[in-house]
Structure 1
Amino acid sequence: MKQKVAYARVSTQDQANNQNALKHQISRLEAIPDVEILYDVDSGGYSDRPGFQQLLEKIANGEVSVVYATRGDRLTRNFQDYLHFKKLIKIHNVTVELLDEGVMEWETASAELISDIRALLAENERHQIKDRVAQGFKSRRKRKAACARSPFGYRRANDKYVLDNRPCICRLDRRPANYQDLTLEPDNSPLLINISRADIARETIQKILEIRRPRKALRQIYEEYGACRKKGRIPVINTEEDCSELLIWGLGSSVIEWCQNPVLRGHTAYLKTVTQHEVRHRKARPADEWEMHYDTHPEQRLMSEETFDELQIIFQCNRKKMGAFEDGSYYLTGLVYCQSCGESMILKNTQVHSYYGCRNSGLGCNNNKNIRTEVLDEAIIGHLFERSCREAPSTNIEPGAKEESSEISILREQIQDVERSLARNPNNLSLQKSKREMEQELAEKLNPNRTLAFTQATAEYIINHPQAKELAFWYTLSKAERTVIYDRLVERATVSSAGQVISVTLHI
């Protein structure tokens, strides 16, 4: 039995969620008895709309008796799509009823001409809208005005980008103890919200700098605010709920793209995408081809140029990072490669140890051996220490560095005495513990602010630094410090099918 099908469409998510346009169309169509409603949130100029394609498929299968819509331009604003739609309608003898325009008729030449003219006018109106948008964009470029869409953390005010400091959410750990008693408070009550989008943006940047893994930083942000991960654009019909997105990042790649936006550094960029006629997905231009206007809102920047440069280093080092997010030894992931097949090795965790194994093991690669992270670390540290010792002493000492104190000299002598004792008694656990403790103390005395000193350093600076010529320095690095320094220095470590590190390649 054939069915009645109604179709609704709006062009933007704003029309669907905030302007009630989609809800209004659907409510009118729901008044039709026994009707199935299909809808899209997309431009009428594109034919690959899921709801529209489903409608065409039903008509082609002979399942439809009547098609309903509020207006003809809701069905399509593309004349070629209209001609295809008209052909199917004629073949399968389907009636098209438009609530605001009446029944579409093609039985006579005059009636068909009227329908065709309406379709041409709908396409022409779409082109006029695009022209007006283009002219408005040119005008904004000439005035160096803010673009229509502001990046997360910003809003437009008087054609300028300003930080969005309006409170919009409350962190889970900052909600009042009696929050369950505040259900009658308005949504914008200061008792309920105290964090703005600008606050979240600053916190996200800081977490990426600290954790140095965009995905892991993003996960922490979501957990702290109790937010659900965004899973793509889903049209919302029930606008009785607040469906506005607070956290826009669904993946580490999207937060990386956000960090690259010049607006965050106080600049405005235009022509960031290649615009071609009838192209749905615009192609991004390289950054050096953007039309840049610097310092358009310097007092509203979220990050400095120095912070931006540091983020680029982090993103560059993360391009090859794959695997789990456990704290084990994730800083090695993306640096370990299999000699047999040349692919990167993946992290495997047990309750006791962490290993790296070839991702293609059993799938054409004969490397079935795993290598423990401690063995990898030892091989990499040995190579870095050996390379540093081969380098000439650096004259590029940090400002304010002083001559070695007598306390440090005495500690060095004590370590040497313990090493001589260990040479005679290599299995003495007490001596081994004493050596590790003294090496830790020596590293801390050499540079109590080591992390701060090395986070901005180049690979050449690190490998030539006097501390790098101390084996204790490498072994006493924390995981956070190794993340920074390995990113700078290590290109890859190659593991043989025997589970041994056969080579370590550096960036320098």
Structure 2
Amino acid sequence: MRIVAYTYTDPLIEKSPAIEIWGWEIDRVYQDLGGRHELDQLVRDSVDQSVDYLLIRRLDELGASVRDIRQVLIRLQSLQIQLITTETEIEPQLNLLQLIDNIQSDLVSRRMRQGHAHNRLQSLPPPGKAPYGYRRSKDKYTIDKSAAPVVKDFFDRFTIYGSLRGAVRYLEKKYNKKIAASTGLRWLSHPVYRGDTAYHHDEVISDTHPAILSRDEAAQIDRLLRRNRRLPPRTASAPRSLAGLVNCEHCGQTMTVTTVSAPRRVEKYLYLRPTNCNRQPKCKSIRYDRVLTTTIDRICTDLPLAVSQANLPNLDGFKAKISQEIVDKQQTIDRLPDLIGEGILDIETVDLRTYKLKTEISQLQDRLAAFPPVNLQSLAQAVSIRQFWLDLSESERRFYFREFIRSISIDPQSANLALQLQFIF
């Protein structure tokens, strides 16, 4: 018994499947990429050496039209080859019209995907409504002058305070623009606002249309988003700078900020107390101002020493290497049209290769943007001045605390408030 398999792959919309997908002992696998030369070879080989079973994924792989598929099926039937599909089941009770209808549906789906793929090669916008802040023109997104300032103000607010929910509330208050927090998060991370276009499988092409966010602003937003993921929920927008950072050494619980006021008195006092403390007696609360002052003093003392002892990588070297890779790939793109004139490559192959190189450049640009914008050692010296922290507002102080501190551990029972800082590096 001889068993062979056949696959057809359009390089614009899919990758060639691995041989292991069949799960059978296959005598030979015929694979076509773009054309169907191997299918013709399969038929010729079947004349010389009989084939019992032919495995395919779908019937639409046998041709570009119903007529082509019908001719191949007739030829296979004349050779007494039994056809087996692995992704679509051919039911015996289907009549010819139903079978043709199923094949036609698969072909229409493939043509639509091919059309979208050709648009991707030309860096055209994907189908659908343009994102808020943009309008859809013939071949790219253009900035909507009435909506783009709203989006830009939202980004600026988040960059200053690092609070997603705070930026959402600000948008509603100033512009009466109501969006969900999930929508705001999608705006912050969406490539379209950075001048890039995202396609399926998270493939991104850079600089396809005017950007609302600069590369530096987008990199800062990405750092803030990564930083906020380390924090407990809702503490990123908390009004107090120590919220979500302080832990109790004894019970291991996060300490929350609580407000206490005496009856018939205007004064209010802030305390840090452990949540869900299971010790008896429970761990004591601590005055917020006392912890804040001690934290600032400890930062000024420990931060320069921690930075000097940290084994920090050579970021300048990494940046230079990635920048050179971007230049090399761009030079390759510039040389591709010459290969068409020399008859080495055709237009379709050049378009496909250009698209792949552009997605690789976008990935390298994302890696480059993820590096810190300034030298940490120089910054550590600048922020190790006590007056710097005292001059900041609570929201500004919250922003800078989260740039350096991962967590703060305190001993509530200690008379001198034993406090340990864990930095993010």
Q: TM-score, normalised on structure 1?
A: 0.45
Aligned to 2:347: none
Q: How has the CA–CA distance of structure 1 residues 138 and 457 changed in structure 2, closer, same or farther, with 3 Å as cutoff?
A: same
CA distance in 1, matches of 2:304, 2:144: 51
Deviation at 1:313, TM superposition (A): 1.9
Instruction: Give 1:116-131 correspondences, 5 Å limit.
Output: 130-131=109-110
2:252 to 342, 345, 352: 342
Unaligned runs of 5+ in 1: 1-112, 166-195, 229-248, 274-289, 394-454
Cα distance change on mapping 1:220 and 1:481 into 2, 3 Å: closer
SS in 2 for 1:353: strand
* Residue 400 of structure 2 corresponds to residue 488 of structure 1: no
Give yes or no for the alignment of 1:134 onto 2:64.
no
Is 1:146 aligned with 2:86?
A: no
Are 2:140 and 1:160 equivalent residues in the alignment? Answer: yes
Aligned residue number for residue 63 of structure 2: none
**CA offsets per residue over residues 178-201 of structure 1, 9 Å max, x none?**
xxxxxxxxxxxxxxxxxx221211
Q: Residue type matched to 1:143 in 2?
A: Q
**Candidates 416, 419, 422, aligned match of 1:502:** 419
The equivalent residue for 1:224 is 174
> Identity rate of aligned residues, in percent?
22
Quickly say closer, same or farther: Cα 1:197–1:501, change in 2 above 3 A: farther
Residue in structure 2 matching 1:305, options 193, 211, 215: 215
Deviation by residue 1:130-180 (Cα, 9 ceiling, x = unmatched): 434422321211211111243321232112011123xxxxxxxxxxxxxxx
Count of aligned positions: 260
Name the CA shift for 1:366/1:197 in 2 (closer, same or farther; >3 Å): farther
Contact 1:267 1:294 (8 Å CA) reproduced = yes
Contact 1:146 1:160 in 2 (8 A): yes
Contact residue 391 and residue 464 of structure 1 kept, 8 A? no
Q: CA deviation at 1:263?
A: 1.9
- State the partner residue of 2:155: 205
Whole-Å separation in 2 of the counterparts to 1:355 and 1:389:
29
User: What is residue 364 of structure 2 aligned with on the other side?
Assistant: none
Q: In the TM superposition, what is the alpha-carbon distance from 1:462 to its structure 2 partner?
A: 2.5
Residue number in structure 1 paired with 2:301: 386
Partner of 1:291 in structure 2? 203
The residue number in structure 1 matching 2:233 is: 322
Tell me the alpha carbon deviations over residues 288-333 of structure 1, each in whole angstroms, 9 at most, x when there is no partner: xx43322222xx110111101111121122121434688641x222
1:333 is matched by which residue type in structure 2? A
Q: For 2:189 and 2:280, locate their aligned partners in 1 and report how far apart those are by CA, in whole Å.
A: 39
Task: Return the alpha-carbon distance in structure 1 between the equivalents of residues 282 and 105 of structure 2.
Answer: 59
Tell me the CA shift for residue 343 of structure 1.
4.1
- Once the 2 structures are TM-superposed, how far is the Cα of residue 506 of structure 1 from its aligned partner? 1.8
1:472 aligns with 2:387: yes
Check the 8 A contact 2:307/2:380 in 1, yes or no.
Answer: no
With over 3 angstroms needed to count, the CA separation of the structure-2 counterparts of 1:328 and 1:349, relative to structure 1, is: farther
- Write the mapping of 1:266-281 to structure 2, written as runs, cut at 5 A: 266-271=195-200, 273=201
CA distance in 1, matches of 2:101, 2:255: 56
User: Mean Cα displacement is larger for which, 258-267 or 364-373?
Assistant: 364-373
Which of 238, 253, 256 does residue 185 from structure 2 map onto?
A: 256
Contact 1:264 1:303 in 2 (8 A): yes
CA deviation after TM superposition for structure 1 residue 391, in Å? 8.1
Write the distance in 2 (CA, Å) between the matches of 1:119 and 1:219: 55
1:340 shift after superposition? 3.5
Partner Cα distance (2:280, 2:206) in 1: 52
Q: Structure 1 pair 391/347, CA: closer, same or farther in 2 (3 Å)? A: closer
Tell me, in whole angstroms, the C-alpha distance in 2 between the residues paired with 1:498 and 1:383.
Answer: 19
User: Where in structure 2 are the equivalents of 1:315-464 lying within 5 Å?
Assistant: 315-319=225-229, 320-323=231-234, 328-329=239-240, 331-350=241-260, 352-362=268-278, 367-387=282-302, 390=305, 457=374, 459-464=376-381
Q: Mark the CA change 1:389 to 1:255 in structure 2 (over 3 Å): closer, same or farther.
A: closer
| Cα offsets for 1:398-454 (capped at 9, x unmatched) | xxxxxxxxxxxxxxxxxxxxxxxxxxxxxxxxxxxxxxxxxxxxxxxxxxxxxxxxx
The answer (yes or no) to whether the contact 1:376–1:501 under 8 Å persists in 2 is no
Distance in 1 (alpha carbons) for counterparts of 2:104 and 2:244: 52
- Runs (5+) with no aligned partner, structure 2: 1-92, 262-267, 309-371
8 Å Cα contact 1:322/1:333 also seen in 2: no
Residues 1:215 and 2:215 are matched in the alignment: no
The offset of 1:204, in angstroms, is: 0.9
Cα RMSD between the aligned structures?
3.6
Secondary structure at 2:127's aligned position in 1?
Answer: coil
2: CA distance between counterparts of 1:337 and 1:214? 24
Structure number with higher relative contact order (C-alpha < 8 Å, ≥ 6 residues apart): 2
Q: Quick one: structure 1 residues 350 and 155, their matched pair in 2 at CA, closer, same or farther if it must change by over 3 Å?
A: farther
CA spacing shift, 1:221–1:122, aligned 2, 3 Å: farther
Letter in 1 for 2:135: R
* Equivalent residues of 1:265, 1:301 under 8 A apart: yes
Counterpart residue identity of residue 268, structure 1: T
Tell me, yes or no, if the aligned pair for 1:347 and 1:357 is still in contact at 8 Å. yes
Change in Cα spacing, 1:129 to 1:340, as seen in structure 2 (3 Å) is farther
Deviations 1:204-260 (CA, angstroms, capped at 9, x unpaired): 1111112221111111112223345xxxxxxxxxxxxxxxxxxxx411x44233222
Structure 1 Cα separation of the partners of residues 387 and 131 of structure 2: 45
Q: Rate the CA distance shift 1:328–1:484 in 2: closer, same or farther, 3 A.
A: closer
Q: Offset at 1:341?
A: 4.4
**Conserved in 2, the CA contact under 8 Å of 1:322 and 1:346?**
no
- Cα pair 1:491 1:505 within 8 Å, conserved: yes
